Amino acid sequence: MTFRKYLVLAAMILFNALGDVSLEYGMNKMGAIHAGRLTDAVAAVFTPWVLTGILLLLCFFACYLSALSWADLSYVIPATALGYVVIALLSEWLLGQTVTLTRWAGIALVGGGVLFLARGPALTLAEGPREPAVTADAAEGQS
């Protein structure tokens, strides 16, 4: 894989983590939204932190589409799972949330799995269209 492709994966992880943290921060400031008051949900979209989160997640999606153009889905999705580590760190540092030891253990398991999966190729070449088998009837017509 090229350096540029690693940059796309890194950007994907950062945009996803920063977008999720922005959404969390914005929604914490907004307060609870109930299903009966959908106008509150629409209003939340236009608050600065939620809007920032949405824009960052749109950047994530653009990187995600780019990554899918040169790598298998089974490679891209685990690569994005490294974002769990970044989200946990940002949640503690920026949001003041406590990440328990149990959650860190789960994040470590996911991170280990990502490292295991990353050792394989980013893209596996699909087999091309197969030639139809020649049957005895078709072979007789060719002679």
Query: For residues 23 and 29, what is the distance between their CA atoms, to the nearest angstrom?
Result: 10
pLDDT at 77: 87
pLDDT at 104: 92
pLDDT at 130: 47
Could you read off the pLDDT tens digit of each residue along the chain, which spans 143 residues? 788 988 999 999 999 999 999 999 999 998 888 877 888 888 889 999 999 999 999 999 999 999 999 988 888 888 888 888 899 999 999 999 999 999 999 988 988 887 777 777 777 776 555 455 555 555 555 54
Domain positions in the chain are 3-122
pLDDT at 139: 54
CA 20 to chain centre: 11
3-state secondary structure of 123: coil
Choose among 9, 16, 6, 28: nearest CA to 86. Answer: 16
Q: How far is CA 130 from CA 113, 125, 133, 140, in A?
A: 35, 14, 9, 21
Choose among 58, 83, 57, 79: nearest CA to 70. Answer: 79
pLDDT at 1: 72
pLDDT at 79: 83
Sequence-distant contacts of 106-110: CB under 8 A, at least 24 apart: 110/81, 110/84
pLDDT at 142: 55
Query: For residues 74 and 68, what is the distance between their CA atoms, to the nearest angstrom?
Result: 10
3-state secondary structure of 32: coil
pLDDT at 99: 92
Tell me which DSSP letter residue 122 carries: S
Tokens, residue 51: 């809007």
3-state secondary structure of 64: helix
pLDDT at 140: 56
